Structure 1
Amino acid sequence: MLFGILGETRAWHDDGTEVPLGGPARRALLALLLIRPGEVVPADRLADAIDPDAAVSAHALQSQVSRLRKALGSGAALEAAGAGYRIVVAHDDVDACRFERLAREGRAALHAHDAERAAALLREALELWRGPALAGIAESETAQPAAVRLEEHRLGALEDRIEAECRMGQPAAFVPELRELVGRHPLRERLAGLLMRALFAEGRQAAALVVFEETRRHLAHELGADPSPELVALHRELLSADASPAPGAPPAQLTAFVGRADEVTEVAGLLRAARLVTLIGPGGVGKTRLSVEVAGVAADDVCFVELAPLRDGAGLPQALLRAFGLRENGLGMGDSSQPPVDRLIAALSDRMLLLVLDNCEHVIDDVAALAARLLAVCPRLRVLATSREPLGITGESLWQVKPLDGDAAVRLFTDRARAVRRGFAADPQVVSRICAALDNLPLAIELTAARTRTLDIDDLAGRLDDRLGVAARGIRTMDERHRTLRSVVAWSWDLLSESEQQAARRFTVFAGGATAESALRVCGTDGETLELLVDKSLLEMAEGRYRMLETIGAYGGERLDAAGERESVQHAHAQRILELVRTADPHLRRVEQLEWLPVLTAEHGNFLAALRWAVEAPDVETGLKLLASASNYLWIRGVSASVAPQAIALLEAVGDAPPAGLGEEYVTCVLLAASGVVGRPVWQRHRATAEKVLAAAWSGGRPGRYPVGLFLWMMRSASEADPLSAFALVSSQRDCSEPWARAAARYVSGFGPLGEGNTALAERIFATALEGFRSLGDRWGTALTLDALAGLAGGRGDRAQAIALTDEALSLTEQLGAVEDTVDLLVNRGDYCIGEEAATARADYDKAAGLARRAGSSTCLAAALRGLGDLALLDGDLAEAERLYGEVLERVDPHWVRSVGTRVRTLAGLGRIAEARGDHAVARTRYGEAAQSVAVMGAEVLDVLRLLGLSESIVESVVGAVSPR
């Protein structure tokens, strides 16, 4: 006989027929006896299970036992024993006992790394459950502990099963189930960890980090506890890893590579001998696919840059910076004075890397100039380019990519035809004739093979003959092959329905692909039409985005112009992108920022395309709104400089007076224009007007529409000769109704008492700002405020607190991918350690310098070198300290507020060197320069110097250099 208590209590004969147990009293009695078969259950506990609210007499209990014994018959022995009863059955005949055995064995298999066996055992165990354990009596005082224990084991087995199945592959498939479980059990850290890993495997690192943050909040709110060391370790692991391909990773390939294995080997060998190899050939011959395959075998560190979306060569350096995952400026708006090319050189100067530049022909001159410069100054760099013509620079090796040979062409056609038509089979000679008519060009073959879904092979061959004019062709010139490919694209296009043609030509306005929603909106089509275009190889679908090959896009663009639709479609595209960035903007100041940042990053090419259209149209209103809505994203991601030329152009169109109703948009445009290399004249011209507009927008306690603009205004103005008006404007909003603006204003207002030496008040204000940012889940503001609090702790000598706060801020900047800000924090942590743990400080400075060099950030590198200079000075190596300090002054940006500390410390260090050498005149000059660097901000020199952690003797020297004698 079999028994079940994992759900309603039931019993079955060996033949599967159910045993009639009777009413709920007998079922409750049996359930309690079956919790631990063979063990005696006291009579009072059995009576409580039968009816917790009534006193069941011994006679009544005995009566129920007799009836149950009669119902079970010979299937089980129900015995009186001492002051109670027991049931004698085999443990495996009880579903709960069998479940626990299988769950134990499954967990053991999991620990032994036998995921397949573990999953099978755990699935079998969980299938035994039919409902809540001990249903009907689980709430009774007698049964409750057992029910709780069984449900806990069930949840543990469920976790084990999911982990086992994740180990077997496709962990992302379990995201929905895990999300539902985490929602029901928000304090279950193992479930949260499994969901984080599953999301990470799905390429959604940001979403995984959000799960950690939400779990941390639940634990703190419900239990007053921190996450376990295991979950914290997983969090750190995710921060230091990257589930999705790197920004410049070669694109994932969805189809098999056919026919060029030997070429891959030969080109890879050529790259070992030559530092620049260019794959040349007509469009559609397979240059891009060959470059991807070569990159996979030729180098461990690869950066793949798709240049087709570029309109001209002006954006080439920024495209490379983005591909390398490098920010153009830090959160504090620094390094704006360093040209993008210089940042690239700094990042690549000592890095062993293969740089793949794909589709160079339309920006060939700019690519040639940049490649020549990078190769000249970056000795470990190699470049693989694809183009329809050579770059034409010294040291270039050319590889002519030719059409496939006959056999490979037939294999490719057959492979792609079978992908759209199961069981495809055709006379190889007919297929060979088709491929020959297509000059064996891979793209032409793929487009044509896609038509086998609806066309017979003989019909297809006949139509191609009519279209191309001949049945087969021999070797012809490159120009003729271009014409062949164009004819095939045109032929494929002509076979589309009108609705398909309309969607395809409208899709060409996208730069870098589109999500389904965006494609549907801008193209004015439906999902079925998009899927048909994918089936016919006019579109590709990968990683949740539709994309169009460059050759097809060029033809489609011509059709868009011919239809007279370009202006209206580009307007629709710009409005869609504006809607997207507007939707995302408030989320970037909340806990969801890690989910929305990747969304906007994926649309960066489309954003730039929409912005260019707005500038060229011109549509000043759309352009200003695009910049304002995306400003938060642009600053956090550090790519504000990439839009500076468009911002400057918009300001030229605007003139000196902002358009009516677009005052705040005008202000953010000024800020973005000033972030570029040539932005300072623009800033000087528009600053006064912009400040008046901003003050009007945020007057009377009424919040403006773009809180980040207000905050960035203070950050940008702080290094001016008269920053106090900007400071007063921002700090006046500390009681604003907009929560993020309120937190930001409190953060800024903390610097007022700080500059006056009232560090206690400053700390209270910063703590309030920190609470505001944390309550919103904004990592950016939280990191900045933690850094300010750490500075206060360090200034009063609380080194442990300063380091703890800096560590927390570091974890946040790492989540944001803010390399420059991570460098700043590492340097600050080194400063807190330098007096007592020089080795620890050196490790932080060295790490910071390495990150800064990799990021190509001159100002950040200056901060790290200053720390190393301080160490050299402590060691008595005056020559090395002087060399390092000199390099710092060459690199530091004098217009960046966050560079003030670096400059002051460096000048003070040079003063100490001069004093050590007995040159008191030079020492006084250096100390005076240090004091002036502080005074320009309107702060008290003495208080700032002490806040920087300088010794009293140095503080006295600096202050004395500017004090009357």
Structure 2
Amino acid sequence: MLGPVLVDGVEVAAPRQRALLAMLVLDAGRIVGHDQLIGGLYPRPPAGAANALQSQVSRLRRTVPGVVIEHHPAGYRLVAEPADVDHLWCAELLGAGRASEALALWRGPALADVDAPFVQVARHTLTEVLINCALSGGTTKDLRDLLSEHPLREDLRAALVRSLHRDGRQGEALEVFARGRELLAEELGVDPSPVLAAAHLEVLRAQAPHRGVPAQLTSFVGRDEDLRRVAGWLRESRLVTLVGPGGTGKTRLAVEVAHREPGEVAFVDLSATADVVRALLDGIGVRESGMLASGPVGAGQRLRAALASRHVLLVVDNCEHVIDDAARVLGGVLAACPDVRVLATSREPLGITGETLSPVTALDDEAATRLFLDRAQAVKPGFHADHEVVAEVCRRLDGIALAIELAAARVRTLPLAEITARLDDRFRLLSKGSRTAAPRHRTLHAVVEWSWELLTDAERDLAARFTVFSGGARLDAVTAVCGSDVDTLTSLVDKSLVEVVDDRYRMLDTIRAFCATHAPDLRHEHARWFLARAQEAEPHLRAAEQIAWLDRLAADHDDLVAAVTWATTHDLGLALELVAALATYYWCRGLRTEAARLADAVLHACGETPPGGREQEYALCLLIAWPVATGDQSARIHQADALLATFETPPRYPIMTMMWGMALGAPENDSPVWHHRTRLLGDDPWSAALALVGDGLLARMGGDPVTGKTMLRDAAAAFTRIGDRWGAALAFTQLGEVLLTEGDATAALAHVERGRGLLAELGATEDTAEAVTARAQAKVAGGDLDGAREDFELALTLARRSGALVVQAGAHLGLAALARVTGDHPAARAECDRAWDLTPGGWYGPDEMRCHIARERGRIAQAEGDLEQARRHFGEALRRARGQRNRVTETAVRAELAALPVT
């Protein structure tokens, strides 16, 4: 309604049906009488108007599926909720004080494409709603556009005057008032109303001086929302403090606010003084003889007396190094001078009752990139670069405005690639700033050093120790690893050296790099603490509380990786314990490739023999690392098998038994290997559910799909009872594959999708990619080729993101089958080649993947009429299926071989 009439984004083509719908929507939920509808539709109602109306309603119901129009004896009623109708939702938002959101609903003039007798009155009513939205939440442009349509609306003109005034455009504001006064005199013969006159007076009063506010030589980039927020808080609070680390742009933001503020403004920089009172007196222009002889009490009294009757905004910059005196003096001024407001900048709060804190944080990627390009083009006209590369530079600089400006200044003498490469030594790279800047803002090192020097000894010690954390930490980690007390940590937060978000504390990388040069080596304590956390979490990862504990470990992921990496070169026993304790976490999160690389590095450091007492952890490392092993992969597996054969009791981490089965393949039923693996299965519910999956797969591969399905269903139910989403997803996905083999694509799709949903809850990217591939295969079988192609492409994206080569191979194999089905045999062969190249060793079951690739190559050759090549490829697939002891695949390949014509 708030623009052309649309239903779910679609217009109603017939003009009279559109008008009828508009009348019903205007009174949505209420009965609109027959006479009202007829009069609103027809300038001259036709004979049989009631029947004509009924016909129009019937057509409207057919034209707009889903619209519900009820007939009543008195008329018709559109059934709709207020949230479904834009003009009703607009009114609710406006009443709730959310005018800017209400205004965003407007797409043009109300009922723009409706021409009927009722429209003039309806459009006038809705236009009043639009004007109210603009008066409460409109931009200068919104108000100007509306005023051009309603030049005699004094409320609109007054709002525009005030909006221009807030933007610092006093001259334009006075011109808008003057034009309004002329129109009122010419058209109506009246003077401006009190509302418009008051807006004019506000602009005139704003001609008071902005004393000492620095003029800026560069554009203001990236903090428009901060600017609006701070200006709004200054209208509600008498003390607003901009807090944040050095270099984030607190001073620049304060200056921009000051320039836009109406009335008298005084700017006071405290960075070069220890005498807050004298600096404030100078800032407000009080320099009387005898002042130097006045004691501090006399100076404070003079300051309060000078401000007692003035309407002034004091912008007090750089309070951090005189924080106690600044709080005492400004607190006294605010208590004694009711018309004084203060906008302060500091690296910690002033701590005065009534203080509103406005954190000045890192720039987001978009704003940081704009700032970099703006400053780079200023020193090197015509400079351009890939936005993602610039954004990455800005991210590595923590979005700190000063650091970004210093880096941008280097493009005059260094290529962007060289700047990026040197960011690891950022303090040396960013060591040339403006000669006119304050010393603490000329280099990045000076910015951080200024904050460092303001810390107490205890704060410096904790700041240095805190750098042992790679990705931040919870309170218990900080206190345990750093030996810190809570008060010192919260003091670092107050002083903007440490950030806190929810329950985690972190340092910006720039601050961390500085503080790390003063740090003792706590990496052993760090690694030990995170090992204890991983061991504590592991049982919970196989239970109902799985997601909460996965989230905890995911939040600590960078620190867990750092702990393993350090231990690999300093404490191999600890490294093995860490990898083993984290195996379940990595598996459930679908980070198998990352886990394999960490485990492989630990094994290379250990050599061919496990450290004494760490045989179980070493064997688990072998199983985890095998798929990416750089040496003899089969030797690794046999070594793991030999070690596992010596174990007589279930392993500490049950995930080991599952990995053993996947790495070694399916044993013969009732064989010694089968009996040994069975003995290593624990008697806990999770291991019992896992056994059902294994037995179900063995039954299926052995040619008994009925038993296989039963066991997999039981396994899915068991894992669901336990609360393990990963195990349940495994069972559902395997069950889907069985059903797909039997030709039931619909049921297969349902089970695979259920498994994919569970994996998505876990955030398991690699496993989700596999599930999406399985879903695509089910769609192929069901004839949804377009949907299958989308899923194969999605699986490729997810698998590439996680570095999962064999999952990528599976997606390419699926695309090969699609190309074959559609007759594009060259593309099908190319996709098979891509899949083959991605399976050099791959993840568990690479021979099975290569079996399927060979089988698909046979089908392509058969489709092209090359029967000799088809036999060769099917023969290779058969050989690999036998090696996997997969009778289902073996039987299927034999059938395809037998079906080939005899040449």
Give TM class, smaller chain.
Answer: 0.5 to 0.7
Query: Where does residue 495 of structure 2 map in the other structure?
Result: 536
Does residue 488 of the first structure (1) align with residue 450 of the second (2)? Answer: yes
Change (3 A) 1:841 1:484: closer
Q: 606, 621, 632: which is aligned to 2:584?
A: 632
Shift of 1:607: 1.2
Change (3 A) 1:505 1:864: closer
Paired-residue identity, %:
27
Whole-Å Cα distance in 2 between the matches of residues 352 and 613 of structure 1? 31
Residue of structure 2 in register with 1:377 after alignment: none
TM-fit CA distance, 1:637: 2.7
Q: Against the structure 1 CA distance between its residues 773 and 873, is the aligned structure 2 distance closer, same or farther, given a 3 Å change threshold?
A: same
Which residue of structure 2 lines up, in the alignment, with residue 607 of structure 1? 560
Q: Deviations over 1:641-693 (max 9, x none)?
A: 445565345435544443344332122222333343xx152654443343343
| Contact 1:570/1:610 (8 A) holds in 2 | yes
Q: Deviations over 1:283-309 (max 9, x none)?
A: xxxx9956745357699xxxxxxxxxx
Residue in 2 aligned with 1:954?
Answer: 896
Give the AA of the match of 1:789. L
CA contact (8 A) 1:439 1:484 kept: yes
Q: Assess if the C-alpha contact under 8 Å between 2:825 and 2:860 holds in 1.
A: yes
Match of 2:504 in 1: 545
SS in 1 for 2:542: coil
* Rounded Cα–Cα distance in structure 2 between residues aligned with 1:726 and 1:860: 29
Contact 1:694 1:710 in 2 (8 A): no
Within-5 A mapping of 1:324-363:
356-357=392-393
Q: Cα 1:535–1:895, aligned 2, differ >3 Å: closer, same or farther?
A: closer
Alignment correspondent of 1:662 = 614
**Aligned position for 1:944:** 889
Tell me: CA distance 1:956–1:931, structure 2 relative to 1, closer, same or farther (3 Å): same
Residue in structure 2 matched with residue 150 of structure 1 by the alignment: none
Q: How many residues align?
A: 544
The offset of 1:925, in angstroms, is: 0.7
Q: Distance in 1 between matches of 2:601 and 2:639?
A: 17
CA distance in 1, matches of 2:593, 2:670: 23
1:512 aligned counterpart, secondary structure: coil
The reply on whether 1:822 has 2:768 as its aligned counterpart is: yes
The residue number in structure 1 matching 2:240 is none
Contact 1:673 1:682 in 2 (8 A): no
| CA deviations over 1:698-725 (Å, ceiling 9, x no partner) | x3xx432101122112222339999987
CA positional deviation for 1:600: 1.3
Partner-residue secondary structure (3-state), 1:714: helix
Q: Residues 503 and 642 of structure 1: is their aligned pair in 2 closer, same or farther, counting only changes over 3 Å?
A: same
**Structure 2 match to 1:102:** none
Scaled by the length of structure 1, the TM-score of the pair is 0.49
Match status 1:580 vs 2:533 = yes
Task: Name the residue aligned to 2:873.
Answer: 926
- Describe the superposition over 1:555-581 as per-residue Cα deviations: whole angstroms up to 9, x where unpaired: 433333xxxx42xx3222112111211
Query: In the aligned structure 2, how far is the partner of 1:808 from the partner of 1:603?
Result: 29
Contact 1:731 1:749 in 2 (8 A): no
Indicate the RMSD between aligned Cα atoms, in angstroms: 4.8
Whether contact under 8 Å (1:866, 1:902) holds in the other structure is: no
2:696 aligned with 1:747? no
Give 3-state SS (helix, strand or coil) of 2:517's partner: helix
What amino acid sits opposite 1:711 in the alignment?
M
Query: Measured at CA, do residues 792 and 553 of structure 1 come closer, stay the same or move farther in structure 2, by a change above 3 Å?
Result: closer
1:815 shift after superposition: 1.8
Deviations 1:15-68, CA, capped at 9 Å, x for gaps? xxxxxxxxxxxxxxxxxxxxxxxxxxxxxxxxxxxxxxxxxxxxxxxxxxxxxx
Cα deviation, 1:586-625, whole Å, max 9, x if unaligned, reads: 1211222222222212211211222233223x22222221
Task: Report the Cα distance in structure 1 between the residues aligned to 2:712 and 2:408, rounded to whole angstroms.
Answer: 50
- Structure 1 counterpart SS, 2:505: strand
Code of the aligned partner of 2:643 = V
Deviation digits for residues 107-159 of structure 1, max 9, x if unmatched? 98888657789999xxxxxxxxxxxxxxxxxxxxxxxxxxxxxxxxxxxxxxx
What is the rounded CA distance, in whole Å, between the counterparts of 1:386 and 1:847 in structure 2? 45
Q: 2:728 matched to 1:782?
A: yes
Change (3 A) 1:397 1:805: closer
Does 2:743 correspond to 1:797? yes
**Residue 503 of structure 1 pairs with residue 462 of structure 2:** yes
Q: How far did residue 640 of structure 1 move?
A: 4.3
1:97-136 matched pairs, under 5 angstroms: 113=89
Preserved CA contact (<8 Å) 1:356 1:385: no
SS at match of 1:750: helix
Matched-pair contact (CA < 8 Å) for 1:539–1:547? yes
Q: How does 1:289-304 map to 2 (within 5 A)?
A: 289=362, 292=365, 294-295=367-368
Write the mapping of 1:543-942 to structure 2, written as runs, cut at 5 A: 543-560=502-519, 565-566=520-521, 569-616=522-569, 618-642=570-594, 644=596, 646-676=598-628, 679-681=629-631, 683-697=633-647, 699=648, 702-718=649-665, 729-732=676-679, 736-835=682-781, 837-838=782-783, 840-853=784-797, 855-856=799-800, 857-893=804-840, 895-897=842-844, 902-940=849-887
Specify whether residues 772 and 353 from structure 1 end up closer, same or farther in structure 2 by C-alpha distance, changes over 3 A only: farther
Question: Which residue identity does 1:488 align to in structure 2?
Answer: W
CA offsets 1:909-934 (integer angstroms, 9 cap, x no match): 33234334443322211110111121
Q: Is the 8 A contact 2:580 2:620 kept in 1?
A: yes
Residues 505 and 395 from structure 1, CA distance in 2 versus in 1: closer, same or farther, beyond 3 angstroms? closer
User: Could you tell me the TM-score, scaled by structure 2's length?
Assistant: 0.52
SS of structure 1 residue aligned to 2:471:
coil
The amino acid across from 1:760 in the alignment is V
How far apart are residue 898 of structure 1 and its match? 5.1
Structural mapping, 1:277-426, within 5 Å: 289=362, 292=365, 294-295=367-368, 356-357=392-393, 390=414, 393=417
Contact 1:507 1:523 in 2 (8 A): yes
Is the contact between residue 514 and residue 547 of structure 1 (CA under 8 Å) also seen in structure 2? yes
Distance 2:693 2:840 in 1: 23
User: Does the C-alpha gap of structure 1 residues 819 and 488 become closer, same or farther in structure 2, counting only changes over 3 Å?
Assistant: closer
Following the alignment from structure 1 to structure 2, what is the Cα–Cα distance between the partners of residues 879 and 652?
Answer: 42
Q: For the residues of structure 2 that align with 1:395 and 1:554, how far apart are their CA atoms?
A: 17
Query: What secondary structure is seen at the aligned counterpart in 2 of 1:537?
Result: coil
2:666 and 2:885 in contact (8 A); partners too: no
| Cα contact 2:623–2:640 (8 A) shared by 1 | no
- Which has the higher relative contact order, 1 or 2, with Cα contacts under 8 A spaced 6 or more apart? 1
Equivalent residue letter for 1:848: F
In the alignment, the residues of structure 1 paired with residue 568 and residue 824 of structure 2 have an alpha-carbon distance, to the nearest angstrom, of 55
- Residue type of the alignment partner of 1:356: E
CA contact (8 A) 2:796 2:808 kept: yes
Query: How far apart, in 1, do the equivalents of 2:703 and 2:897 lie?
Result: 14
Instruction: Give the distance between the partners of 2:625 and 2:796, measured in 1 at CA.
Output: 25
Please list, as runs of the form range in 1=range in 2, the aligned pairs for 1:70-109 lying within 5 A after superposition: none
CA distance in 1, matches of 2:846, 2:650: 31
Alpha-carbon spacing, 1:505–1:914, altered in 2? closer, same or farther (3 Å): closer
Query: For 1:612 and 1:396, how far apart are their aligned partners in 2?
Result: 24
Distance verdict in 2 for CA 1:722–1:611, change over 3 Å: farther
For residues 313-360 of structure 1, give each alpha carbon's deviation from its aligned partner in whole angstroms, at most 9, with x where no partner exists.
xxxxxxxxxxxxxxxxxxxxxxxxxxxxxxxxxxxxx99897514587
What residue ranges of structure 2 are gaps of 5+ in the alignment? 1-79, 98-242, 257-359, 373-385, 398-406, 424-428
Unaligned 5+ residue runs, structure 1?
Answer: 1-106, 121-252, 265-286, 300-349, 362-382, 407-434, 442-480
Which deviates more, 653-662 or 579-588? Answer: 653-662
Q: Secondary structure of 1:541's partner?
A: strand
CA displacement, residues 235-256 of structure 1 (integer Å, 9 cap, x when unaligned) = xxxxxxxxxxxxxxxxxx9787
Change in CA separation of 1:944 and 1:397 when aligned onto 2, cut-off 3 Å: closer
The residue type paired with residue 954 of structure 1 is E
In the aligned structure 2, how far is the partner of 1:519 from the partner of 1:716? 39
Give distance in 2, aligned partners of 1:570 and 1:790.
46
